A and B are shown apart, each in its own frame.
Chain A
Amino acid sequence: MPISKEYIIKRLLLLVVVVFGVLVITFVITRVIPAHPELLWAGAHPTKEQIEKARKELRLDQPIHVQLYYYLLDFLSGNWGVSWRTRQPVLKDIQAALPATLELVVLAFIIAIVLGVPLGAIAALKRNTWVDHIIRIVSVIGASVPVFWLALILQLVLSNWLGILPGAKRVDEYIVYETGFKEITGFILLDSLIQGNIPVFVNALQHIMLPAIVLAFYPFGLSARMTRAVMTEALNELYTRSALAWGLPRRLVIYKYALKNALAPVIASLGLSFGYTIIGAFMVELIFVWPGIGLYAAMALLSYDYPAIIGCVIVVAIIYTVINMIVDIIHAIIDPRVRL
């Protein structure tokens, strides 16, 4: 049964409401909570003129609802302020940084699913054996490890000590110059494939592996646990037992009937872990000098670059909301019960 138009329209309306809420909350945080909002917006060591200028830009002499009106208007017209660190409009900085982050996060999720689902299924089949315990511990570690510490340690061991993988940046500059690589979409892996530039592709793949593995830990753990839980339940359902009683091969029952159940929860788990992963990217990108929105946000935090911080917060919150909406819609397509 195809999904109804009303459902999608309802979800889109909800998206608008949520984005409005996100903006109002950030407005309260930036303008209402601090006693002197202009000091936050005027950079790390502001002069009197800069503070005065910030006061004017924020319209602090006007009533609060007028300030909110202009805050929303500025957001919609793309006027997100100027970063103190880069001296560029925040929106432009963020647009330039986004592809690097998306590339990293997408690869992290691919790694997480390709490993998480089969391992979760094995854990369910071999419940309460040592295989199950080990997989359980590994997946819980993914949810318990401080992502920045994991990044530091893996960088130290695999890159600095053993030299297996590069530990910083997206690609080695000299290869880019030598091969005449050009950016098209901002996704280096994609661009190098389009141009048939194998050296850059291989080099970029080597660079992305370490940060992607670090970021994959959490979604890997979540999808493995989800798969394990769903498979355990499905294997005890009447339909799988009757399928076995009918004499269907065990292998067929497991892969065709039981594992199918894992699809919906695994997609839901991706939505859940996306938020965690993108915040993890803040720290991982800082450590691996990965020029994405996470590095941009982390540098902004470390240098008190307030307009850039708030810009990143809004963008990440909106991306998170959109991803969750997409996940909900996919979930509804797969699992008709959700639509009710």
Chain B
Amino acid sequence: MIPEDVRVIFRLIKTNPVSLAGLVIVVGFVIVGIIAPYIVPYPEDAWGETYNIEKRYLPPSLEHPFGTDDMGRDVFSRVILGARFSLIIAIGVVGLALLIGIPIGLIAGYVGGKLGTALMRITDMFLAFPPLLLAIALAATLGRGLVNTIIALAISWWPWYARLVYVQVNSIRVLPYVDAARIVGLHPLAIMFKHVLPNALTPVTVQAALDMGSAILEAAGLSFLGVGVKPPTPEWGLLVTEGWSSINVAWWISLFPGLAILITVLGFNLLADAVREAGDPRLRRILLVGRKI
């Protein structure tokens, strides 16, 4: 994607209030994720190290905006710190998936031949699993924990990026400037990394950034099924799960972390929508001209 496209995306986002809301949510989430440990009102509660029996199941109040949980911990603090863990998971999953997917897509697309076909066949095998299912199997094998969750999700994730890079590289490989580089006598590796890869990278990184919402959602699903992060990590999915057993006495324990997931993932998806519409030239024309039947 060239800067012109990025400009169009921002123009579209600015004109559409729904897309703008998405952008605001995502930026807000990233900021909260970075500064969370320094702004939580009850840091010990947030990290899950405390147990205050006299403060159990307090409903939302000024002192505890989201109430307290079964251990007397401030739910608001745990949700705020949860943003950091969601950010770590999102960046970890998408980053690791890119690290696996880009080289495989690049080699399959640029080298081609039997090796390329074999690599893409393997990629397709991974895509035969419905989302999250492969991650569930892997997480059940690796055991609970933050790092294992990231690994399990990334291994079920990279095939999408491998495919995307493969398609990009295939279309770039035949462009005249690549031929020119070859004729000049550049080393194939230099062509691959210096001339083909940079041009194939923009769509896949944009896609990866927008996929971070799905990574958060899937990590929460793993936590709920008991194969995600370990307690007392304040991961949002785990916070919802922890409140499940006492939902009839204290609905706030599950409600607020779930809302945090919903709003964050919603932000990413609204943004993804805007980018997708901007990337579709026919739709973009309609949007920019604003022609209606």
B101 lies within 8 A of chain A by Cβ: no
A229 near B213: Cβ-Cβ < 8 Å: no
Q: Nearest chain-A residue to B155 (Cβ)? A: A29
Q: Nearest chain-B residue to A150 (Cβ)? A: B258
Contact among A29, A150, A232 with B137 in the assembled complex (CB-CB below 8 Å): A29
Contact among B125, B221, B248 with A160 in the assembled complex (CB-CB below 8 Å): B248
For B121, B124, B240, B292, the residue with the greatest tally of chain A CB atoms inside 10 Å of its CB is: B292
A140-B270, A146-B258 known; A302+B226 contact, CB < 8 A: yes
A146-B240, A156-B251, A301-B225 known; A40+B132 contact, CB < 8 A: no
A152 near B18: Cβ-Cβ < 8 Å: no
Q: How far is the CA of A82 from the CA of B140 in the complex (A)?
A: 17
**B292 partner residues in chain A, CB cutoff 8 A:** 127, 235
**A287 partner residues in chain B, CB cutoff 8 A:** 244
Given contacts A156-B247, A235-B293, A279-B130, 19 further A-B contacts (CB under 8 A): A18-B128, A24-B125, A25-B129, A30-B137, A133-B17, A145-B261, A145-B262, A146-B224, A152-B240, A152-B254, A156-B248, A244-B293, A275-B130, A276-B130, A276-B131, A279-B136, A301-B227, A306-B140, A320-B129
> What is the interface of chain A, defined by CB distance below 8 A to chain B?
18, 21-22, 24-26, 29-30, 33-34, 40, 125, 127-128, 133, 136-137, 140-141, 143-150, 152-153, 156, 160, 229, 232-233, 235-236, 240-241, 244, 274-276, 278-279, 282-283, 286-287, 297-298, 301-302, 304, 306, 309-310, 313, 316-317, 320-321
Q: How far is the CA of A298 from the CA of B221 in the complex (A)?
A: 11
A29-B141, A153-B258 known; A146+B217 contact, CB < 8 A: yes
A18-B125, A137-B18 known; A316+B221 contact, CB < 8 A: no
**B283 partner residues in chain A, CB cutoff 8 A:** 229, 232-233
Closest 4 CB pairs of A and B: A275-B130, A21-B125, A149-B258, A144-B265
A279 near B141: Cβ-Cβ < 8 Å: no
Q: Nearest chain-B residue to A275 (Cβ)? A: B130
What mask results when residues 253 to 284 of chain B are scored 1 for a CB within 8 Å of chain A, else 0? 01100100110011011100100000000110
Q: How far is the CA of A20 from the CA of B270 in the complex (A)?
A: 38
Q: How far is the CA of A173 from the CA of B240 in the complex (A)?
A: 31
**A18 partner residues in chain B, CB cutoff 8 A:** 124-125, 128
Q: What are 9 A-B pairs with beta-carbon distances under 8 A? A: A22-B129, A137-B18, A140-B270, A144-B213, A148-B220, A275-B133, A279-B221, A302-B226, A320-B128
